[in-house]
Structure 1
């Protein structure tokens, strides 16, 4: 068994990246798959969304710049089959250390290798920027998902992501495939939503998930409660959409593993 490693990437804040990572991880864990969620953000938003508190040292940062193993930082969440490696404030300092290392972009890839036989799926919630940590996540991944709010200016982030991934591929350090663009409905008018959707589908075609996450006030409520929407409010419209996304993602996942 080799875990499929997938990163959630979008340099634009408020894109739904963490919400997508948490609910996809929790939803797939509810289907009896063994799942690990790595919170690579110093704000630890994914950890907090799962009801886990940020801890003082030692932390994930130590594993990335020292000889510590990632396995030592795994915590079990309240969701059966879902484990978490929490984010921490000191991840900010790690970026400088990794940047100065000769093979700093491959640090997470080396560390994560020992965990690939323990899990079915490993998800990485990246910072909202293209810093060294995000680049590490992409280099360690088989695939990446780009959450996309259906609003003006959000589509510009797509080209940025593609450019960065292409530059890493040219360096021979990244082989991640675009798993899909995940669309989120916002409060914009229907004409705006249709225009953006048509543009995204036209350019990326099969790389756009069929599932669209609807606007749902329950999304914010679940974050405040520190519980994934798919398990805490399973009958909400967004939770039902995330469950469909889980099925769609699992169906497609064998394709990306071929590139391991």
Structure 2
């Protein structure tokens, strides 16, 4: 049965999308069958896999409104081993359209139930806010993986996110766990990066992944070519780090 991981942090620019794309591709390169669900209206995970997000008949928006089934909107094998449920800017309206809909927190979960047996991993990229789309991702997921940027304000907002995870666990999805924290944009040359890592480890009783995702130009360039880092530059520090993270995630099963 597929293990479902939501990648969430209400702060923007912390590496959620980068982690969704590259962790998925790295898991696939290790022989895992992966489905990526993009629940961010920006659709950056969708375009990061080379999908033209503006010309799609069925996306997660149509899925959430009940206009198509999950099978209708899966784009199969965008790269070997990775399929995608795409997103685009239309999704921004979903929140409003769901007002008054019964059990709206479970729409995604109910759909994913139909297909989760077919994948080893389902990775859900969440929007940078704690809204109904993020709640849907968390009611669907087994665990939440939180990317944290190595910067001074890293811990800010994290307690709020953990509080949200605990609320969802308490009221909507008793199976939900914290997968852990992964550090992104790590710069070994600065004391700050090292201090942030130590500070979070000390103050957080959560699992912290050993893999540190470095600041890496190649990692930043890859999405503009519609490729994950392991296909854009397999020898880069970024590619090696995500391979390492994939190994850690697999070991956690």
Task: Please report the TM-score for the alignment, with normalisation by the length of structure 1.
Answer: 0.92
Q: Kindly tell me the number of residue pairs found equivalent between the two proteins.
A: 252
Which consecutive residues of structure 2, in runs of 5 or more, have no partner in the other structure? none
Rounded Cα–Cα distance in structure 2 between residues aligned with 1:153 and 1:95: 29
Q: Which runs of 5+ in 1 are unaligned?
A: 254-260
RMSD (CA atoms) = 1.6
Range with greater deviation from structure 2 (23-32 or 76-85): 76-85
Contact 2:214 2:238 in 1 (8 A): yes
SS at match of 1:224: helix
Distance 2:230 2:56 in 1: 29
Q: In the alignment, which residue of structure 2 is the partner of 1:193?
A: 193
The 3 A distance-change label for structure 1 pair 166 and 79 is same
Aligned pairs for 1:106-255 within 5 A? 106-186=106-186, 190-205=190-205, 207-253=207-253
Q: Secondary structure at the match of 1:117?
A: helix
Gap change, CA 1:51 and 1:67, over 3 Å in 2: closer
How far residue 194 of structure 1 moved from its aligned partner, in angstroms, is: 2.1
* Deviations 1:77-112, CA, capped at 9 Å, x for gaps: 441111011112221111123342221111111111
Q: Which whole-Å CA distance do the structure 1 matches of 2:232 and 2:243 have between them?
A: 13
**Rounded Cα–Cα distance in structure 2 between residues aligned with 1:188 and 1:245:** 18
Tell whether 2:32 aligns with 1:33. Answer: yes
Tell me the SS of whatever aligns to 2:118.
coil
1:98/1:40 CA distance change after superposition, 3 Å: same
Equivalent residue, structure 1, for 2:17: 18
Cα drift, residue 205 of structure 1: 4.9
Q: TM-score, normalised by structure 2?
A: 0.94
